[in-house]
């Protein structure tokens, strides 16, 4: 294919990806109330009955929050279609072996990211909110919808990225930047960093909550070591 043909194919795939995303965005707007109720569950879990509400300081604040929720939900709903358009663009330039690995790679990346977000939603956020509720006793709880959204999405996306650790290790291994032996030698540092992240993510000072966060990170690193061993680069043999 010529450069112009590649450019035309890219334009075509971007167009259909955008169409799919717009459809997914439209579908998500029909479930905005249910999506919001789902998002606020960790926040409301430990709040007293009379305080289970969010505030707004601008007349358009709630509207734009709902649009942001619909945009993120549309991205998740439309992700398979968008990935398919990406795949249809790059597939002609891949070797048969690379084509076989692409689909498992995309699925694994998506599953790890969603697992991280689920772990954050069910395991991290409730304990984090509870800590701050206990710390803020004696003060009136007035949290705006914008602040709640920013706080929550940072945690969800951040933990989703943390769960991509095995995928990152796989990349570094295939590039020859790390080896299984190197990763094993740094295991103690990985444990230390995991508990530091646990302390940052759950600032309650409670070692139980920190351990709840740190153990999955250590397990992900160990899984990354295993993946590194399975997919390590084989030494090139010189031809006589």
* Residues in Cβ contact with 191 at an 8 Å cutoff, skipping those fewer than 6 apart: 214, 218
What is the predicted pLDDT for the residue at 198?
76
Name the pLDDT band for 235 (thresholds 50, 70, 90).
low
Output the DSSP codes for 214-232.
HHHHHHHHHHHHHHHHHSP
Residue 108, in any domain of the structure: yes
Interatomic CA distance for residues 83 and 75, integer angstroms: 11
Interatomic CA distance for residues 226 and 212, integer angstroms: 22
Domain count, the chain: 1
pLDDT at 146 over 80: yes
> 72 near 130, Cβ under 8 Å?
no
Length of the chain, in residues: 240
pLDDT per residue over 64-104, tens digit each?
999 999 998 888 888 888 878 887 887 777 677 767 777 78
pLDDT per residue over 37-71, tens digit each?
998 999 888 887 777 888 989 999 999 999 999 99
> 124 near 200, Cβ under 8 Å?
no
Residue 95, in any domain of the structure: yes
Range of the domain at 154: 3-163
Burial class (CB in 10 A: 0-12, 13-18, 19+), 157: middle
Name the pLDDT band for 240 (thresholds 50, 70, 90).
very low
Residue 129, in any domain of the structure: yes
Residue 103, in any domain of the structure: yes
Average pLDDT, integer, range 125-131? 83
Q: Which of 118, 115, 126, 120 is nearest to 204 (CA)?
A: 126
pLDDT at 174 over 80: no
Residue 131, in any domain of the structure: yes
Residue 76, in any domain of the structure: yes
pLDDT at 28 over 80: yes
Residue 27, in any domain of the structure: yes
What is the predicted pLDDT for the residue at 113?
85
Q: Give phi and psi for 79, each to the nearest 5.
A: -55, -45
Residue 187, in any domain of the structure: no
Overall pTM > 0.85:
no
CA angle 167, 16, 104 (to 5 degrees): 25
Q: Give phi and psi for 144, each to the nearest 5.
A: -80, 160
Name the pLDDT band for 1 (thresholds 50, 70, 90).
low
pLDDT at 238 over 50: no
Q: Of 23-27, 154-158, 168-172, 197-201, which range is least confident?
A: 197-201
């Amino acid at each position: 294919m010529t450069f112009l043909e590649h450019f035309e194919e890219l334009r075509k795939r971007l167009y259909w990806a955008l169409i799919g995303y717009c459809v997914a965005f439209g579908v998500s707007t029909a479930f905005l109330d249910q999506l919001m109720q789902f998002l606020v569950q960790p926040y409301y879990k430990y709040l007293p009955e009379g305080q289970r509400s969010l505030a707004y300081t601008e007349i358009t604040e709630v509207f734009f929050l709902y649009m942001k929720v619909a945009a993120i939900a549309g991205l998740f709903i439309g992700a398979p279609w968008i990935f398919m358009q990406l795949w249809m663009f790059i597939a002609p330039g891949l070797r048969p072996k690379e084509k076989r690995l692409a689909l498992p790679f995309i699925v694994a990346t998506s599953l790890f990211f969603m697992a991280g977000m689920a772990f954050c939603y069910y395991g991290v956020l409730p304990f984090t909110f509870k800590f701050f509720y206990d710390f803020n006793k004696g003060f009136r709880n007035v949290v705006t919808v914008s602040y709640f959204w920013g706080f929550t999405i940072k945690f969800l996306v951040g933990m989703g990225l943390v769960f991509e650790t095995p995928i990152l290790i796989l990349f570094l291994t295939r590039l020859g930047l790390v080896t299984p032996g190197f990763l094993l030698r740094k295991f103690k540092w990985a444990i230390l960093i995991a508990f530091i992240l646990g302390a940052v993510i759950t600032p309650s000072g409670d070692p139980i909550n920190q351990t709840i966060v740190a153990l999955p990170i250590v397990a992900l690193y160990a899984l990354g070591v295993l993946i590194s061993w399975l997919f390590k680069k084989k030494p090139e043999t010189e031809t006589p």
